[in-house]
Amino acid sequence: MVNKRKINRFKFIAWTLVFALFVSIITPLQGSVAVAEKNSEPIKNIKELKELDDLRTENSKTYLDTKTREYVLEEYTEPVHFEEDEKWENINNDIVSEKAELDDTDLSLGNKANKYKVKFSKKSKENRTIRLKMKDKLLEFGLVGANKVKGVAEKNRMTYPGVLSNADLIFYVDNNAIKEELVFSSTPEKNEFTYEFNMKNLQQKGDE
C-alpha cells in the first residue's frame, strides 16, 4: 500500500508592478473576428488568411481572405503590437539570452520584443534581480534576504526556485505588465517581505 502525502501550496501575489504606461493585465480574449456582411457564416481560420500589416493597430490585426476578397478584423483586449520605427511589430514575451548590461553582467536574460525592456539576473540578488526600462525610465529591485539561486527561463516565465527556504520567486512577462509571485511550499512564518529598489526618472508615491 502506498501512502500519499499531499503538500499544500500557498500562493501569495506580492504585487503587480506598474511601470510607466503598464496597467493591470486583463486576460485576453482569443480575438473577436467579424466578417463584413457575412455574420451568419462560420468564423474563418485566420491561419489560412493573409495578414495586412499596414492595417495593424496596437490592439488589432486585419486579414484578407484572398479567395472571397473579404476582410477579417481581429481585436484584443490588450496590446498585441508595439510601435517601432513607425511600424507596428508583434509583441513577443519569450525570455531569451541577450547582451549583458554594462553595469551588471548578470542581467543577461530579457524579453524578446516589446515597447519596454525587462532584464533578469542569471541569479537572484538582494539588490537587483530584475531591471525594467522604458525610454528614459528605469526601475530595478531585489528581494532582501534572497538566496543566490540560478533562474530558470521558460517562455514568458522566469523562476528562481528556493529563493527563500520555502518559496520560489516567479515573474511573468505580459504584454503590458510584469507580474510577480512568491509561491510557498508551506505556510510562511511571516507575511511581509522587504525589497530594495532603485529608480531613475520615476517618482515614488505613497499610499493615500
Q: Are residues 116 and 196 in the same domain?
A: yes
Q: Are residues 107 and 162 in the same domain?
A: yes
Q: Are residues 109 and 154 in the same domain?
A: yes
Domains of the chain: total: 2
Q: Are residues 121 and 145 in the same domain?
A: yes
Distance CA 138, CA 109 (A): 16
Distance CA 157, CA 93 (A): 9
Q: Report CA-CA distances (Å) from 28 to 16, 49, 78, 175.
A: 17, 21, 6, 10
Q: Are residues 110 and 185 in the same domain?
A: yes
Res 41: pLDDT: 59
Q: Are residues 51 and 127 in the same domain?
A: no
Number of other CB atoms surrounding residue 12 within 10 Å: 12
Res 24: pLDDT: 33
Q: Are residues 122 and 156 in the same domain?
A: yes
11 in helix, strand or coil?
strand
Q: Are residues 60 and 149 in the same domain?
A: no
> Per the domain annotation, does 207 fall within a domain?
no
CA-angle at 110, arms to 109 and 114, nearest 5° = 170
pTM for the full model?
A: 0.78
| Structural domain range at position 39 | 32-76
Res 204: pLDDT: 78
Res 174: pLDDT: 97
Q: Report the chain's C-alpha Rg in angstroms.
A: 21
184 in helix, strand or coil?
strand
pLDDT in tens, the chain (208 residues): 433 333 344 444 333 333 333 333 333 333 334 444 444 456 678 888 999 999 999 999 999 999 899 999 999 999 999 999 999 999 999 999 999 999 999 999 999 999 999 999 999 999 999 999 999 999 999 999 999 999 999 999 999 999 999 999 999 999 999 999 999 999 998 889 999 999 999 987 766 5
> Per the domain annotation, does 81 fall within a domain?
no
Which residue bears the cell 511589430? 89
Res 206: pLDDT: 66
Q: What count of Cα atoms within 13 Å lies in the side-chain half-sphere of residue 179?
A: 16
Q: Are residues 109 and 141 in the same domain?
A: yes
Res 53: pLDDT: 96
Res 207: pLDDT: 61
Distance CA 184, CA 175 (A): 26
